[in-house]
Chains A and B, each alone.
Chain A
Amino acid sequence: MASSTIELAAPDVIAKYEVVIGLEVHVQLATNTKIFCSCPTSFGAPPNTNVCPVCLGLPGALPVMNRRAVELGSQAAISLHCNVNPFSRMARKNYFYPDLPKGYQISQFDQPLAEHGFLDITVTPEGEPAYKKRVGITRLHLEDDAGKSLHDGSFKDMDRYTYIDLNRSGTPLAEIVSEPDMRSSDEAVAYLTELKQVMQYINASTCDMEKGHLRADANVSVRLKGAEKLGTRAEVKNLNSFRFLKAAIEFEVARQVAIVEAGGKIHQETRLYDTESGETVGMRSKEQAHDYRYFPEPDLVPVRVSEKWREQLRAELPELPFDRRARFINDYGLREYDAQVLTATRDMSDYYEQAAKASEDPKGTANFVMGDLMGALKGEGKEISESPVPPEHMGELATLIKRGEISGKLAKEIFVKMFAEGTRPSVIMERDGLKQISDTGAIEKIIDEVLAANPKQVEQYKSGKTAVAGFLVGQVMKLSKGQANPGTVNEMLAKKLA
């Protein structure tokens, strides 16, 4: 970390304070085309190729609302338990910036698409018990994204020039504003995690943070524990990863507490998180804040979402992760942590659900999915959606163990073949003779053979050295090629030697 002149408070001092956090999250909506024109939203095209008069802000060009953006925004709002307003309005937010071609952003101001929602989160602080919490959602509104200013040195004269790529200009965003309900960086991370999951579940956004599809600004303030009045907040911008969100909040809290402890005042300001130094840096004070001169966008008609349309959109929504987790715990007997892992993405939870439904042992299925399958996928750098093993096969594998047809050890062996071949576990079991032997007659025959071949060990056992039984069991298992039911072997061997 670069040396800094910013004074930071020590943890024991910070502990006297309550942290108050609200998040403003920008989510890129997963439309095929931009919000006000038909240019593609695809990522990675050569600079300034996904553009047209509308998103270039050429004279005379007019925006036309993308219906799909309203749908996805409404579905996001419904999923966050917001009221979708039957009538909302776009508004112009005026400011100058080189990558803002119109000189204003088309956003929403006093009449947003949706308001008054909440998001339930599960917070898992390190070394402390997990707990649940409800975070209020103030509003969700639609807006267009700006272009990008490039300073990355990819052109020779970038020391003198800023290059502008307007491919992103006009990409649809939903801005989701939370209430100042979070009290720690862990809660902020849990909120963003849950929000991301919800957006991905409903396919409102891919939330690809590396591509900037999910970006957060944090409003942070501190007050002495027990104090009623909220402290003055600073808004920290440019938080495009969970790690940065956590680090920036923690830095900001330590900075603010140090100022308050020293008898100073927190200034209301916008600060930028510097990912290199790990510090927040003042960008502009309240006095320097832009006067955005909002006014209703005259080029667009109001956004009307009828009750019928809204209910149609609601009906299309899948089960949300919070509800699905609760159901997995309830129906399949999963532990909280397992339920979280298995609902991390919609694909994962859909996969597990199908596997569990095909299984006589949903809990055992969960272990195989989280352990063997996820390990194998990770090894090959694959997503769950690319799994060579269909979910029904995973369910069947757990069922075979539950029925005693294979041992856990055999199951692992079978799984490797399932993953390599995509074949059903029952087929592999039969084909490769990997079925567990529980037939007492067959096992007795093997035991007799082993006992006859190892008279010395039998003698030792009988003289009281019972530990040698482990060796004899091992011999039996070896002779059965691992197929003998180990429980049955133990039981029968003990009888024989008695």
Chain B
Amino acid sequence: MNLAQLTIPQIQQGLKDKQFSAVELATEAAQFAAAENPKTNAYITLSPDRALATARLVDEKIARGEDAGALAGVPVAVKDVIVTKGVRTTCGSKILANYIPPYDATAVERLEQAGGLVVGKANCDEFAMGSSNENSAFGPVRNPVALDRVPGGSSGGSAAVVAQGTAVVSLGSDTGGSIRQPASFCGVVGVTPTYGRVSRYGLSAYASSLDHIGPFGRTVEDAAALLGVIAGRDEWDSTSAAAPVEDYVAACRQDVRGMKIGLPKEYFAGLAAETGDIIAAAVETLKSLGVEVVDVSLPATDYAVACYYIIATAEASSNLARYDGVRYTHRSDSSRTLAEMYRNSRGEGFGAECKRRIMLGTYVLSHGYYDAYYLKAQKVRALIAQDFARAFEQVDAIVTPVSPFPAWKLGEKVDDPVAMYLSDIYTITCDLAGIPGMSVPCGATPEGLPVGMQILTKHFDESGMFRLAGAFERARA
């Protein structure tokens, strides 16, 4: 077995043909991850015992002739902002360095019920705040494709483990592009489902109205299979949707002839030339499959980054208040008063980017500033959603680059947060509008750095997205 190249259908076939057992998969994954992880630092915590326990159940089911689930025996990594019962969950932060949750996130519960093996917790930017995975208290992740480069962020670890092959698929989270951008940088598939499609229960909140859990895979179908398992209404998350979950794997195999896609002109300005060329070639491929291409406009795009950094930081300032040194978090031992305990514990526990966003968010929600910032940002958010709604009256999907440029070198942008924020420019609108989006590998720069194509569809039309992505992947295979 070559774990780094296995796909879900191959694992299913292999289990069926008794080429290997789930326990063997779990053991191999644990050894491989332990051996490979020092190269990339993509895992914060490995959970071989947990993977093995699930693997035994899978093997027992197979032995009894039962259906062992859509993810039977599949090694899955889980971003460390998603809680796992009994397995340390740090959120990439010193403040939760020793936190062991007493419960499982819904998505984790569902993927294990489907036979998935949780092999470890993937590194990420602290509380999912970042675009390079350099904001982790557990050290940066290196891009497996080019080890001197960032894997993207904030789900850098989740993208890297799949690219590296230490997991077959993984869960990430996306608030402003944190799944699609690292997927693009690492050359894997990353999916941000519709807001409400996947339960957020157990996802430690960064910006609740923007947070999504979504899958990574080496193939479009693998990502689709994982999404199919974790999607659907969850009574523990009031914002999860009851919309029926379609067969996304089947959608990947559908023909795309006659589909109509739009290219928003606002997403092709300020693009690195080589990225632009690669996207243009990808669009040509889609055309060759019988897809009609038209120009569309999303005029509110210019305001998206500002809008995002107001709403996201406002919510973050509140969501991160619970990490206060009182209960399960790091507590400073050098405090004499309650106020000092708060200040010191949070001061010591949070990294610079978290503090920056907490301060920004606190400011925009302050008395006298709420209307000028938060309320106005909500109005802009509505305009961005309207832009998309109008465009989707015309087209089935929108195709754009994921990032203006490919993976940059480690350390290159750490001192310029605004430049880092601006790198999210093409991914942020999807989160603000709540629509689904994905990154599909579509080529590489002359240096060999992967470039991803972003496909966006209307609310709850993940199937349309997978249809285009699946056809594209086959055409390029």
**Inter-subunit contact B102/A62 (CB<8 Å):** no
**Inter-subunit contact A103/B318 (CB<8 Å):** yes
**Inter-subunit contact A60/B324 (CB<8 Å):** no
CA distance A59 to B238 in the complex (A): 17
Residues of A close to B203: CB separation below 8 A: 60
The listed residue (B83, B101, B200, B314) touching A295 by CB distance below 8 A is: B314
Does B82 touch A at the CB level, under 8 Å?
yes
Q: Which of B132-140, B148-156, B361-369, B382-390 participates in binding chain A?
A: B361-369
Does A497 touch B at the CB level, under 8 Å?
no
B463 to chain A, nearest CB (A): 25
CA distance A96 to B327 in the complex (A): 13
Give the residues from 315 to 343 in chain A that come closer than 8 angstroms, CB to CB, to chain B: none
**Inter-subunit contact B103/A58 (CB<8 Å):** yes
Q: Which residue of A lies closest to B314 (CB)?
A: A295
Q: Which of A272-280, A298-306, A469-477 participates in binding chain B?
A: A298-306
**Inter-subunit contact A60/B204 (CB<8 Å):** yes
CA distance A59 to B82 in the complex (A): 9
A96 to chain B, nearest CB (A): 6
CA distance A298 to B326 in the complex (A): 24
Residues of B close to A61: CB separation below 8 A: 103, 201-202
Given contacts A102-B322, A293-B362, contact A58 B238 (CB under 8 A): no
Given contacts A59-B89, A60-B82, A98-B338, contact A293 B238 (CB under 8 A): no
CA distance A92 to B315 in the complex (A): 10
CA distance A281 to B52 in the complex (A): 61
Given contacts A98-B338, A102-B321, contact A62 B235 (CB under 8 A): no
Contact with A along B190-232 (1 / 0, CB 8 A): 0000000000111111011100000000000000000000000
Given contacts A58-B103, A59-B89, A104-B321, contact A64 B236 (CB under 8 A): yes
**Inter-subunit contact A101/B327 (CB<8 Å):** yes
Does A388 touch B at the CB level, under 8 Å?
no
**Inter-subunit contact B235/A64 (CB<8 Å):** yes
Interface size on A, residues (CB 8 A): 28
> Of residues A59, A94, A98, which shows the largest number of chain B Cβ atoms within 10 Å of its Cβ?
A59
Does A56 touch B at the CB level, under 8 Å?
yes
Contact with A along B315-337 (1 / 0, CB 8 A): 10110111010111000000000
CA distance A301 to B82 in the complex (A): 22
The listed residue (A58, A94, A102, A301) touching B239 by CB distance below 8 A is: A301
CA distance A153 to B82 in the complex (A): 39
**Inter-subunit contact B204/A59 (CB<8 Å):** yes
Dominant secondary structure of chain B at its interface with chain A: loop
Does B268 touch A at the CB level, under 8 Å?
no
**Inter-subunit contact B238/A65 (CB<8 Å):** yes
The listed residue (A59, A60, A65, A291) touching B366 by CB distance below 8 A is: A291
Given contacts A58-B102, A298-B209, contact A291 B367 (CB under 8 A): yes
Residues of A close to B338: CB separation below 8 A: 98
Given contacts A60-B105, A60-B203, contact A92 B238 (CB under 8 A): no
**Inter-subunit contact B314/A103 (CB<8 Å):** no
Contact with A along B60-99 (1 / 0, CB 8 A): 0000000000000000000000110000010100001001
CA distance A293 to B205 in the complex (A): 18
Residues of B close to A63: CB separation below 8 A: 238
CA distance A372 to B248 in the complex (A): 76
Residues of A close to B342: CB separation below 8 A: 96
**Inter-subunit contact B102/A53 (CB<8 Å):** yes
Q: Which residue of B lies closest to A94 (CB)?
A: B318
Q: Which residue of A lies closest to B203 (CB)?
A: A60
Given contacts A64-B236, A103-B322, A300-B238, contact A58 B328 (CB under 8 A): yes
Would you mind naming 24 contact pairs between A and B with Cβ atoms under 8 Å apart? A53-B103, A58-B83, A58-B101, A59-B101, A60-B83, A60-B105, A60-B201, A62-B238, A62-B239, A64-B235, A64-B238, A94-B317, A94-B318, A101-B322, A103-B320, A293-B317, A295-B365, A295-B374, A298-B207, A298-B208, A298-B209, A299-B239, A300-B239, A301-B239
Residues on B facing A (Cβ under 8 Å): 82-83, 89, 91, 96, 99, 101-103, 105, 200-205, 207-209, 235-239, 314-315, 317-318, 320-322, 324, 326-328, 338, 342, 362, 365-367, 370, 374
Sorted from nearest, which 6 A-B pairs have the closest CB atoms? Answer: A103-B321, A59-B204, A298-B208, A293-B365, A298-B209, A60-B202
Residues on A facing B (Cβ under 8 Å): 53, 56-65, 92, 94, 96, 98, 101-104, 164, 291, 293-295, 298-301
